[in-house]
A and B are shown apart, each in its own frame.
Chain A
Amino acid sequence: MMEKSRRSFLKVAGIAAIGLGAAPAMTFSASDSHGTAQAVKGKNHETLTAHRWGMVIDTNKLNEEVAANIVKACHKAHNVPDFNHEVDEDKFPNTRPVNHKQEVKWIWEEEFHNAFPDKEDEFLAEKFKHLPFLATCNHCKNAPCVKACPTQATFKRADGIVLMDFHRCIGCRFCMAACPYGSRSFNFRDPRPFIGEVVPEFPTRTKGVVEKCNLCAERLARGKQPHCVEASEGAIVVGDLEDPESEVRVLLNENYSIRRKQALGTEPSVYYVV
């Protein structure tokens, strides 16, 4: 009586096999049905947005003093090292001497004939020889640095800002070779000994990464204008280039403006009103 026929054994085995197969599906549907609320990521409500960020620099409103203030404000806020800063020997003992060719800069004063080598005419208006021209990252529409970066540490955001993910930079410096504007600096050494007062709102960089202007993406996200705009006393305006009503477009409409090395086809987003 206890003896099992092959038939009944196969029946039981078949049912068991179905049960095994159904188990994962059942646990899956079970976990799905009582699923907790998903985490959501979002932007700050005060975030400033644009289709394509751009900058207009009115060179007539710039003078040495204002230009120096702008550079200072930007570099201080972003913890950009100043290699003329005297190193605190207690905090950073045995700091090796500085090589001043290895400067780091996000925005800097440039002479006209260096900033605009293709516009250096024989009888150029005298004023251009003395005006300080502020050069920075042009946040190009066709940014060559973005194409050169092998790790996509440099990338173009949907709103036109050419941004760097410092975490991802491997320090190959292809971007520096690719950038026709010299807007990028490499950290040949730990920058911390050369930062006078570290601003906690922004990280410093580390040895071996490239850095450049980020159009104050961290400030735009909090609804604030970039540091250079605030320090410029009206000489620099940042806004949406794609919006015909925006302040930058109105300025560009009313004034004659030039861009750096336009012939290269990088389509810079920084315009100079001259």
Chain B
Amino acid sequence: MNKNTIIAGLVIFVIAVLTPVWFNMVTTTQAAPEPVLSAKAKEAKKCVLDKYEMRANHMSLLDEWRDSVVRDADRLYTAENGHTFNMSLSTGENSCLGCHEDKEKFCDSCHTYASVDPYCWECHTTPKEIQ
């Protein structure tokens, strides 16, 4: 007697359960943005660590750098790949921003996508921002 209602109920249930799938079929998904390398960064080829480690661990590296500069007054970092960097986020040629010149395209694009809000720029300045 209830066969029809049960089947109808099941159909509704399956449709409801698969809502995320329908949702994704209707809307378009955004791929994770690729950080845009500035001409200078492209030319340099080598960052402090290799690309994938940099992506995963740049925040730990920056944390280590900050302690090293402020506490031990060590300001030069000779990386495993032999290149020497100035342990600074935003000052000088040999700092992070010295090479990755465009903060909006390099830092912010990913941070915004991943919805992380690092407070670096509340104090540190970018040359662009100053103008």
Nearest residue, chain A, Cβ from B69: A221
The 6 A-B pairs of least Cβ separation, nearest first, read A203-B123, A41-B74, A206-B122, A40-B78, A165-B70, A203-B124
Task: Kindly provide the distance from the CB of A47 to the nearest chain B CB, expressed in whole angstroms.
Answer: 7
**9 more A-B contacts (CB under 8 A) besides A167-B66, A198-B125, A203-B123?**
A39-B78, A41-B72, A47-B73, A157-B71, A165-B66, A198-B130, A203-B124, A205-B123, A206-B122
Q: How far is the CA of A44 from the CA of B94 in the complex (A)?
A: 13
Count residues of B near A (Cβ-Cβ below 8 Å): 26
Q: Is the CB of A200 within 8 A of B78?
A: no
Q: What is the distance, in angstroms, from B98's C-beta to the closest C-beta of chain A?
A: 11
The answer to whether residues A42 and B74 also contact, given A167-B66, A200-B91 and a CB cut-off of 8 A, is yes
Q: Does A30 touch B at the CB level, under 8 Å?
A: no
CB <8 Å contact, A43 and B75: yes
Q: Nearest Cβ in chain B — how far from A15, in angstroms?
A: 38
Q: Is the CB of A41 within 8 A of B123?
A: no
Specify which of B80, B122, B124, B130 is in contact with A36 (CB 8 Å cutoff): B80
How many chain A residues touch B (CB < 8 A): the figure is: 28
Docked-complex contact B73 and A200, CB < 8 angstroms:
no
Q: List 28 A-B contacts (CB under 8 A).
A: A36-B80, A37-B82, A38-B80, A39-B77, A39-B79, A40-B77, A41-B76, A41-B87, A42-B74, A42-B78, A43-B73, A155-B71, A157-B71, A163-B70, A165-B71, A167-B70, A197-B130, A198-B125, A198-B129, A200-B91, A200-B127, A200-B130, A201-B91, A203-B123, A204-B123, A206-B123, A221-B73, A221-B75
> What is the distance, in angstroms, from A78's C-beta to the closest C-beta of chain B?
12
- The residue on A at minimum CB distance from B63 is A167
Which among A166, A167, A203 is the interface contact of B125 at CB below 8 angstroms?
Answer: A203
Main secondary structure of the interface of A (DSSP, over half): loop
Expressed in whole angstroms, the minimum distance between the Cβ of A44 and any Cβ of chain B is 6
Among residues 204 to 221 in chain A, which have CB atoms less than 8 Å away from a CB atom of chain B? 204-206, 217, 221
Q: Which of B66, B122, B127 has the most CB of A within 10 A?
A: B122
B58: min CB distance to chain A, Å: 14
Residues of chain A within 8 A of B119, CB atoms compared: 206
The complex places the Cα of A122 from the Cα of B26 at a distance, in Å, of 87
C-alpha spacing A138/B80, complex, angstroms:
40
Alpha-carbon distance between A223 and B71 when the two chains are bound, in angstroms: 18
Using A39-B80, A167-B66, A200-B90 as known contacts, say yes or no to A157 and B123 having CB atoms under 8 A apart: no
User: In whole angstroms, how far apart are the Cα atoms of A270 and B92 in the complex?
Assistant: 31
Smallest Cβ distance from B24 to chain A, in angstroms? 40
